[in-house]
């Protein structure tokens, strides 16, 4: 009965498209709000190791409460699951803290321009660590990505080496995270939402001792007092907002990863960066020179050429 199949398919396809469209729009919106509050917090309280830890702690708590109250069903996991999750969590922790350190030193837009170079890292890691080869157009698409990022970096008015390196380290770590998590999620019954919840919890355990060692309660107490005296008691809500939105945008992105190919995911991620770059430039009045904007545009165009070449 092929006729029935043909009649049903367009409906199913458009329902699926609508669902993915809703996931993407929610993911980008949550990400923009996270980036704004994260930067507002870091401007007043420049302790990125603590704010990264709080984001993971808040997400872990939200998921534990959801499981306990049965809003979400807790996953059934075994030791093997947690063992496979460990390298993903190490990469997630490094990528997260490196991006936050970067944003504490430079404009949000600059961090995300450098982070739009992630596909280049993905190709280089797959080529040199996994021995994968790609067709020539894929390699050629790396030229505008790398060239555009380089142009944006050298013309950045508030360039800072830690800010730049943080974004680069985050790119590298997230490429490994994506490779490991693709392997870890394959064939497992744990949903994208619960997979990200477990990832948050494990990353929190990994990050906490390092955050204490690098910054520590003494610095945090003095910094907090200073931030509250500048901003007022509302400061605590900014911290809550950045933590809650961090968890939500990541959760939605892992939920959409369940539904789409990694390639569609990376295109969605690049489009997310465009919304963040534009929104943060407007909100924080970030000064941008035309040649700097040109670099960002070339890098982003490069990531689209990359996705076309990979297709
Ligand atoms: C983080 O703090 O983990 C970064 O802001 C993440 O950036 P991304 O999810 O946009 O790659």
**Half-sphere exposure (CA, 13 Å, Cβ side) for 131?**
0
Q: What is the mean pLDDT of residues 204-211?
A: 98
C-alpha 143 to ligand 1 mean position (Å): 24
C-alpha 230 to ligand 1 mean position (Å): 27
Question: What phi and psi values does residue 160 have, to the nearest 5 degrees?
Answer: -145, 130
Q: Whose CA is nearest to atom 1 of ligand 1?
A: 96
C-alpha 96 to ligand 1 mean position (Å): 6
CA 282/CA 266 separation, integer angstroms: 25
Q: pTM of whole model > 0.90?
A: yes
Ligand 1 atom, smallest distance to 269 CA = 10
H helix runs in 45-160, sequence order: 48-68, 79-105, 108-115, 118-128, 136-154
The domain ranges of the chain are 26-310
Ligand 1 atom, smallest distance to 100 CA = 2
Rounded alpha-carbon distances, angstroms, from residue 106 to 1, 19, 42, 241, 305: 60, 35, 11, 21, 27
C-alpha 35 to ligand 1 mean position (Å): 9
Q: Whose CA is nearest to atom 5 of ligand 1?
A: 99
Question: Among residues 36, 27, 46, 103, which one has the least CA distance to residue 280?
Answer: 36
User: For the chain, what's the residue count?
Assistant: 311
Whole-number average pLDDT of the chain? 92
Q: What is the pLDDT of residue 7?
A: 53
The reply to whether ligand 1 has any atom less than 6 angstroms from the CB of 96 is yes
C-alpha 244 to ligand 1 mean position (Å): 14
C-alpha 13 to ligand 1 mean position (Å): 30
Question: Among residues 288, 228, 243, which one has the least CA distance to residue 108?
Answer: 288
Confidence of residue 184 (pLDDT cuts 50, 70, 90): low
Q: Is the pLDDT of residue 81 over 50?
A: yes
The reply to whether ligand 1 has any atom less than 6 angstroms from the CB of 100 is yes
CA 265/CA 175 separation, integer angstroms: 13
User: For 124-172, how does the pLDDT look when each residue is reduced to its tens digit (9 = 90+)?
Assistant: 998 998 898 999 999 999 999 999 999 999 999 889 999 999 999 999 9
Residues in CB range of 305: below 8 A, 6 or more apart: 137, 140, 141, 144
Ligand 1 atom, smallest distance to 272 CA = 10
CA 49/CA 63 separation, integer angstroms: 22
Rounded alpha-carbon distances, angstroms, from residue 104 to 38, 45, 56, 100, 163: 9, 9, 17, 6, 7
C-alpha 31 to ligand 1 mean position (Å): 9
The reply to whether ligand 1 has any atom less than 6 angstroms from the CB of 115 is yes
At residue 69, the 3 state secondary structure works out as coil
Q: Is the pLDDT of residue 1 over 50?
A: no
Q: Is the pLDDT of residue 213 over 90?
A: yes
The reply to whether ligand 1 has any atom less than 6 angstroms from the CB of 247 is no
Largest CA distance in the chain: 72
Tokens, residue 166 = 């943080």
Tokens, residue 49 = 């190791």
Q: What is the mean pLDDT of residues 256-280?
A: 85
CA angle 195, 277, 148 (to 5 degrees): 100
Q: What is the pLDDT of residue 143?
A: 95
Q: How many CB atoms lie within 10 A of CB 292?
A: 21
Q: What percent of the chain has pLDDT over 70?
A: 95
C-alpha 3 to ligand 1 mean position (Å): 46
CA 180/CA 43 separation, integer angstroms: 33
CA 214/CA 89 separation, integer angstroms: 19
DSSP line for 101-112 = HHHHHS-HHHHH
227-232 contacts at long range (C-beta below 8 A, 24 or more positions apart): 227/41, 227/44, 227/45, 230/44, 231/44
Q: Is the pLDDT of residue 2 over 60?
A: no
The reply to whether ligand 1 has any atom less than 6 angstroms from the CB of 99 is yes
Q: Pick from 93, 115, 265, 303 the residue to mutate for probing ligand 1's pocket: most ligand atoms within 8 Å of its CB.
A: 115
Residues in CB range of 114: below 8 A, 6 or more apart: 102, 149, 152, 153, 164, 167, 168, 171
């Amino acid at each position: 009965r092929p006729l029935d199949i043909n009649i049903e398919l367009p409906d199913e396809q458009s329902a699926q498209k609508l669902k993915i469209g809703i996931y993407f729009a929610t993911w980008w919106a949550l990400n923009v709000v996270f980036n704004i509050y994260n930067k507002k917090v870091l401007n007043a309280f420049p302790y990125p190791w603590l704010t990264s830890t709080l984001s993971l702690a808040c997400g872990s708590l939200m998921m534990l409460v959801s499981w306990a109250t049965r809003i979400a069903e807790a996953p059934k996991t075994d030791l093997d699951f947690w063992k496979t999750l460990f390298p993903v969590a190490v990469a997630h922790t490094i990528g997260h803290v490196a991006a936050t350190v970067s944003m504490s030193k430079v404009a949000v837009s600059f961090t995300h321009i450098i982070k739009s170079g992630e596909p280049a890292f993905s190709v280089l890691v797959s080529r040199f660590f996994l021995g994968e080869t790609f067709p020539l157009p894929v390699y050629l698409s790396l030229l505008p990505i790398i060239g555009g990022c380089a142009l944006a970096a050298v013309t950045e008015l508030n360039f800072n080496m830690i800010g730049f390196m943080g974004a680069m380290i985050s790119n590298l770590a997230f490429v490994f995270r994506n490779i490991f998590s693709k392997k870890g999620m394959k064939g497992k019954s744990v949903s994208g939402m619960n997979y990200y919840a477990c990832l948050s919890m494990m990353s929190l355990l990994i990050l906490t001792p390092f955050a204490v060692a690098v910054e520590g309660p003494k610095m945090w107490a003095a910094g907090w007092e200073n931030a509250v005296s500048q901003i007022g008691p509302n400061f605590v809500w900014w911290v809550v907002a950045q933590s809650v939105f961090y968890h939500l945008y990541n959760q939605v992105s892992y939920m959409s990863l369940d539904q789409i190919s990694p390639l569609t995911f990376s295109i969605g991620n690049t489009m997310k960066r465009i919304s963040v770059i534009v929104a943060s430039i407007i909100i924080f009045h970030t000064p941008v020179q035309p040649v700097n904007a040109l670099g960002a545009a070339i890098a982003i165009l490069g990531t689209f050429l990359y996705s076309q070449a990979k297709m």
